[in-house]
Structure 1
């Protein structure tokens, strides 16, 4: 009898990823059911907030929990046990609730009407107010509900993270990363708000300001802290954590630069990101900074007139997009994404003390997070 062939690595990655997703969904469902029962003792209206959060979470890609998981697998240098999968899944569920809180608040700050191809939470609440004929401003009501729901998500994330099982020293190390993540993303959010208002004076120029926002708003809670969290929980030492950090900064920065491109050259149906959203919101991205630096006088006038104008029509937004392409800004940002992705791959390959299974999982995630070849860039 011929011996069975070993499971192909790609198939094993897929199996473990599916197991993680299943456990995160089960953990999240159970945790939110408990919170719904708790709020139900207050009022049925309070309990309905959990339903809103469940609806908001639908369609999430679980990118951050996946980075956490594969960072943990890389630190283990072997397949995780059922108990280790459970610990990483619970930590992933906590991370995803931090993500939900950040998005709920971010949509309010940016006046974003759409999230994941659906009305943003503050818009949904506003429409509920209008449909029910409630008193007061429907818009202000929607904003208030979204803020409260984001606060609840952040609170519940902390409660879930506080109950992560495992050896005390490893849990404490993972918790320290979790706490750093929350501080950094909120600080990055503040820098984003400040930059939008033209008040980020310590940055040398607009592009460096945008990169600083990426470094402290996107990188920590998208890649850096999640991957360090999982690795720390699974016993990684400082050299492994530092190697993962260097990789994460490259991948996390590339991820956000790619996300900036999606508003110009992405597929709205595929991404759920409204085309032109960054233009009408006036997002001060690296892409915009490079466009401004390269534009002629006519282009500068166009940018001044359209960027940040919530009432800008489709033709005006399209003209800005054409300018971004014509100035070479889109191509240069896409080239930076590719360069950072390549640098990240090199760092991951050179990192010592990491298991091959986890390394493969991290690289697969990085490819997904930094792909620009499928865009019209």
Structure 2
């Protein structure tokens, strides 16, 4: 998942919330660094790595949380409410860091946001310091540990007892965060299982890919952050249902777009390596449609190409380009793009019909949704 091409935070996020969120994260990591340094000076470097890992994020999920709260009530801007939202936003950011640290290791991704992934960084540190044992194994172990720490600290930030404001609303928001953590980790498992051909309960490969999107991406990228913000403001069931429907559509379109970026995106601007999904063998909706179309047209050459190239980390650029050409030729790219546009339009219709939302907050969610699903400049309709 990438949001590297979303508008920068200051132009989209209320300045006071953005500043407070950054302060919450800074204070939390400063305190954690002191805590680890008291255990052992070597351990404090873990916090430095996590702090560097967070640099460059566009804060999409906290922005959605705040945007939903602001759409539900102008009281979201009150100092106590703002602090509660900033703590929830910080918790979301740390949970995302935990998920990405582990995801990079699982996918053996060498980079994150233009820098070495943490497991790679730590392997390089192992070599530079001449430590004993296997450098790559050490790097992987540290990435797991740091991800576990980030998840633990995220839970502490979202602790309802530590959040200012009415405790019933805070506990409701904290319950949404707990669901977020469970769902994204379960979605990660389903993704890994699907990669190995073991996710068999859905009807077909496309349904399986959509189920992975539902739990790995939609839940933690859009749905739960939005519902956390709504819960924190005490939104009623009717408003939550409308925001839930908007979140499902935007979250699905967001991931479908991210899948397209591996084929038609510019890796220098998106941060997503071109051809990365093909080399990793990711079982995306895009791949499922490509294979299904090739099979329906009895394209033996196309099916053979997919079998030979998809999942091969050593596949050369010509082979990757051939797979991408097949994705275009089968109509898979254009059909996924059409779905993204339809989902984005459906989401806007949901918001337009949502009762009781504040106009400014509603427009903020619309802008975020458009930015997360925009196909401008992408070669999707050839």
**Category of TM-score, reference length = shorter chain:** over 0.9
Name the CA distance, whole Å, in 1 between partners of 2:21 and 2:292: 44
The answer on 1:131 being equivalent to 2:124 is no
Query: Are the counterparts in 1 of residues 76 and 82 from structure 2 also a CA contact under 8 Å?
Result: no
Look up the SS of the partner of 1:41 in the other structure.
Answer: helix
The answer on 1:82 being equivalent to 2:85 is no
Name the CA distance, whole Å, in 2 between partners of 1:67 and 1:138: 39
Query: Are the counterparts in 2 of residues 77 and 356 from structure 1 also a CA contact under 8 Å?
Result: no
Query: Are the counterparts in 2 of residues 255 and 370 from structure 1 also a CA contact under 8 Å?
Result: yes
Which of 67, 70, 88 is equivalent to 2:67?
70
Query: Are the counterparts in 1 of residues 180 and 220 from structure 2 also a CA contact under 8 Å?
Result: yes
Give the structure 1 partner of residue 171 of structure 2. Answer: 172
Equivalenced residues, count: 365
Q: Which runs of 5+ in 2 are unaligned?
A: 1-9
Query: Are the counterparts in 2 of residues 78 and 355 from structure 1 also a CA contact under 8 Å?
Result: no
Name the CA distance, whole Å, in 2 between partners of 1:340 and 1:274: 25
Give the structure 1 partner of residue 93 of structure 2. Answer: 96
Give the structure 1 partner of residue 308 of structure 2. Answer: 305
- 1:66-91 CA distances to partner (integer Å, 9 max, x unpaired)? 00000100111566223322211111
Say if 1:320 and 1:15 are closer, same or farther in 2 by CA, change over 3 A.
closer
Q: How much does 1:376 deviate? A: 2.0
Give the structure 2 partner of residue 225 of structure 1. Answer: 224
Say if 1:15 and 1:183 are closer, same or farther in 2 by CA, change over 3 A.
closer
Query: Are the counterparts in 2 of residues 77 and 354 from structure 1 also a CA contact under 8 Å?
Result: no
Q: How much does 1:374 deviate? A: 2.7
**Equivalence map 1:1-377=2 (5 Å):** 14=11, 16-77=13-74, 80-162=77-159, 163-295=162-294, 296-377=299-380
Name the CA distance, whole Å, in 1 between partners of 2:119 and 2:36: 20
Look up the SS of the partner of 2:14 in the other structure.
Answer: helix
Look up the SS of the partner of 1:293 in the other structure.
Answer: helix
Look up the SS of the partner of 1:188 in the other structure.
Answer: helix
Runs of 4+ in 1 over 3 A off after TM superposition: 13-16
Query: Are the counterparts in 2 of residues 78 and 357 from structure 1 also a CA contact under 8 Å?
Result: no
- 1:171-200 CA distances to partner (integer Å, 9 max, x unpaired)? 011011001111111111111111101011
Say if 1:106 and 1:15 are closer, same or farther in 2 by CA, change over 3 A.
closer
Q: How much does 1:323 deviate? A: 1.1
Say if 1:15 and 1:367 are closer, same or farther in 2 by CA, change over 3 A.
closer
